[in-house]
Amino acid sequence: MIGHKVDAGFEKEKLMMGDVMRRALAGSLIALFAGMQVAVAAPRTVVLPFDLELLKKEEDFYLGPSKPSPEEQARLQAVHAELTKILSEDGQHDIVDISPISKDIEEAAPLVDCNGCEVDLAKKVNGELLYTGLVDKASDTLLSMRIMEIDVASGKMVRAGSVVIQGNTDDAWMRGVRWIMKNRFAGEAAK
């Protein structure tokens, strides 16, 4: 009989220890998972070149539309590179190489007039998010810049930001891109 009581006491103590161990393990796992951040893949982000829309002049109707000057073409490339750099450094975008669609981009340009083809271009490189920009030149000293973020799956604009630029200089254009990304896309890109 005594052996039976000892066995019963041992079994009860063993059950209690198992319960304590299970609770300790559960608490440890909860603490471990609470401290972990869930890694979410950054969206595949396509950054298309900026367009420049020039003020229409009377002679454009006879000679054809004006083209950006060589300086403005260089600025368009510079602001595209700056936007790409800002997005790649924020850790929230997986920048997609657009070189496989460079010929398609040239053929579709200006993208501002292509009737939504920018979304089709982004789909060709499996993009999930699309950034595109437009510089509107009202005069030699007054321009505006707009950057749009578009969801590729739906084709809908997620958000946009714009700024007025006074001065047609390299610095003014770069300040425009940085200002939009800091003040209109805060939390997503450069702060």
If DSSP states are collapsed to H, E and C, what string results for 147-175? EEEEECCCCCEEEEEEEEEECCCHHHHHH
Decide if pLDDT at 35 tops 70. no
Largest CA distance in the chain: 115
Q: Which residues contact 87 (CB under 8 A, 6 or more apart)?
A: 45, 47, 93, 95, 131, 189
Could you tell me which residues come within 8 angstroms of residue 99 by beta carbon, excluding any fewer than 6 positions away?
Answer: none
* Two structure tokens written together for 128: 């999930």
Task: Report the helix count and the strand count for the chain, using DSSP H and E.
Answer: 6, 6
Tell which CATH classification among 3.40.50.720, 3.40.190.290, 3.40.50.10610, 3.40.1280.10 matches the domain 44-183. 3.40.50.10610
- The Cα 155–Cα 157 span in angstroms is 7
The whole-model pTM stands at 0.75
Whether a cis peptide bond, with omega within 30° of 0, leads into 110 is yes
In terms of Cα–Cα distance, which of 115, 76, 93 is closest to 185? 93
Which residues neighbour 125 within 8 Å (Cβ) at sequence distance 6 or greater?
Answer: 44, 46, 96, 97, 98, 100, 101
Average pLDDT, the chain: 83
Are 133 and 50 in contact by the 8 Å Cβ rule? The answer is yes
**pLDDT value of residue 190:** 40
Q: What is the C-alpha to C-alpha distance for residues 96 and 89, in angstroms, rounded to an integer?
A: 14
pLDDT, tens only, 100-137: 999 999 999 989 888 989 999 999 999 999 999 999 99
66 pLDDT higher than 80 = no
Are the CB atoms for 135 and 50 separated by under 8 Å?
A: yes
pLDDT tens, residue by residue, 83-107? 999 999 998 999 999 999 999 999 9
What's the mean pLDDT in 171-178?
A: 96
Predicted local distance difference test score (pLDDT) of residue 186:
75
